[in-house]
Amino acid sequence: MDRGDKLINNRSPKRILLFFAILFVLSVLCSFLISGLIADVIMREQIASILSVLGGGKFTALPDADAIAKGESLITQYGVDAQMHPSLMEGYAALRMTLFGVMAGLSGILCIAGAACSLRQVDMIYNQLEEIRKDCFAIAEQQKTQTELYGEDFGCVRRICEGVNLIAGRMTHLSATLYGEKQFLRDFLTDFSHQMKTSLAVIRLNHDMLTEFDNLDPEKKQLLSEEITLHLDGMESLVLSALKLAKLNADAVTYKMEECDLSQTCRTAAERLSPLMRKMKIAFTFPNIQEILFSHDAVWLCEAIGNLLKNAADHSGCCEIRMELTKIPGAVKLCIADNGKGIPQSEIPTLFDRFGKKSNNATMQSAGVGLAIAKEIIEAHNGEICVYSEMGRGTRFEILFLNQILCKN
């Protein structure tokens, strides 16, 4: 935008010009009035000096009242006295116009200078605003992350720059968050569809075999039907787990925090998995401890603990799982350990990623989202989870819940 456009498209320069135009007109009017007053004073003094000289006063001295009276008496016949109006004197109009021209000229010069300085300052502000505008377009197009700091310290333009930078920072953070969510959704859908396709392929194959081969013996038909049922159950479990994980990641879960016994929550989680452990011939131990009151959502925390226990039973190849709950100053520590084959150190950093580890069985009962769900729930309860594992000697999950602890005596 050039200077002409700035003058035409903005009201402030027009208002400045109008203000100084009005100021100039008023100054001209004031100059005309003041020049008349000054001319009157000068002419009155001139009349007094002339009368004083005529009355015998000195030309270089101040007018004397006696001399002025003698001078009036000498020329009173001509109608001249000290009280005559100054405008009757020769040269009055020229003197007044000279004074008026000088005063009006000075007023005009001051008004023009003031208007020029004001417009210059406004032009500088508009130039800075134009630069901010360009930086905003660059930020919107992700060519820049923030604008330069224009203007004086603590000035309005500088504060605008700071506000733009604040918005730009939040936009950058929001963009990064949205990109992460988009990446998460894409990876999630890819992994989820891969998991579903496996079971759908088995179900379709078994269904085709059941419908196309009429001479299958009853035992074979029963086996195919059971496989279909198992995979349908696995798909149902996967869908429910995926929905839970999606709700947790979207912060759509409202936890009902209540002060209740944490050890009872752990027992409830273990009781739900006791049929699976008996089926897999896994010994489970959880020593009886005193009641530990802890503010938590028993339903969701039971889900997290159950997922950790199920992960140990499903993946470790162990024959024993131990769970311990201990009270330490300022926190509660929950440990879940097994004597299985262990986890390679290279896999531990991605252990809590969704679909990071698939189940050992083919029924998709554990599809790799349990640990991700457990981590989300534990962190929502102000907890931290750590994993320690040694190949051939088992794995230990340690959960530390901070604060909010009241132990019953």
Distance between CA atoms of residues 272 and 267, nearest Å: 9
Distance between CA atoms of residues 112 and 144, nearest Å: 41
Beta-bridge mates of residue 302: none
What's the whole-number mean pLDDT along residues 44-56? Answer: 80
Distance between CA atoms of residues 334 and 294, nearest Å: 13
- 123-132 long-range CB contacts below 8 Å, 24 or more apart? 123/3, 123/6, 125/151, 125/157, 126/1, 126/6, 126/10, 128/157, 129/157, 129/160, 130/1, 132/157, 132/160, 132/161, 132/164
Which residues contact residue 224 at a Cβ distance below 8 angstroms, ignoring those fewer than 6 apart?
206, 209, 210, 216
Decide if 238 contacts 245 (C-beta within 8 A): no
Q: Which residue in the block uniquely carries the two structure tokens 């003698």? A: 70
Rounded to whole angstroms, what are the CA distances from 297 to 84, 206, 255, 294, 385? Answer: 106, 42, 6, 9, 17
Distance between CA atoms of residues 383 and 399, nearest Å: 7
* pLDDT for position 231: 78
Average pLDDT over the chain, rounded to an integer: 82
pLDDT band with cut points at 50, 70 and 90 for residue 229: confident
What's the whole-number mean pLDDT along residues 342-352? Answer: 86
Distance between CA atoms of residues 368 and 351, nearest Å: 9
Residue 370 has pLDDT above 80, yes or no: yes
Polymer length of the chain = 409
Longest distance between any two alpha carbons in the chain, whole Å: 159
Q: Which residue in the block uniquely carries the two structure tokens 């630069």? A: 131
Residue 361 has pLDDT above 50, yes or no: no
Distance between CA atoms of residues 144 and 297, nearest Å: 45
The angle formed by the CA atoms of residues 41, 44 and 47, to the nearest 5 degrees, is 155
Tell how strand 320-328 and strand 283-285 pair up: parallel
Distance between CA atoms of residues 56 and 35, nearest Å: 32
The single-letter code of the amino acid at 37 is L
Half-sphere exposure of 183 (CA within 13 A, CB side): 6
276-308 pLDDT per residue, tens = 888 888 899 988 777 888 888 888 999 899 989
Count Cβ atoms below 10 Å from residue 310 Cβ, excluding itself.
21
122-170 pLDDT per residue, tens = 888 888 888 898 888 888 887 888 888 888 888 888 889 999 899 988 8
Least confident residue range of 119-123, 183-187, 197-201, 362-366:
362-366
Q: Which residue in the block uniquely carries the two structure tokens 């009641």? A: 291
Q: Which residue in the block uniquely carries the two structure tokens 């700035």? A: 6
Distance between CA atoms of residues 225 and 206, nearest Å: 8
Distance between CA atoms of residues 187 and 354, nearest Å: 9
Count Cβ atoms below 10 Å from residue 376 Cβ, excluding itself.
19
Between 226 and 320, the higher pLDDT residue = 320
Rounded to whole angstroms, what are the CA distances from 350 to 176, 191, 356? Answer: 21, 15, 7
Distance between CA atoms of residues 85 and 381, nearest Å: 100
| Max avg pLDDT among 23-37, 233-247, 369-383, 390-404 | 23-37
* Entry pTM: 0.55
* pLDDT for position 359: 43
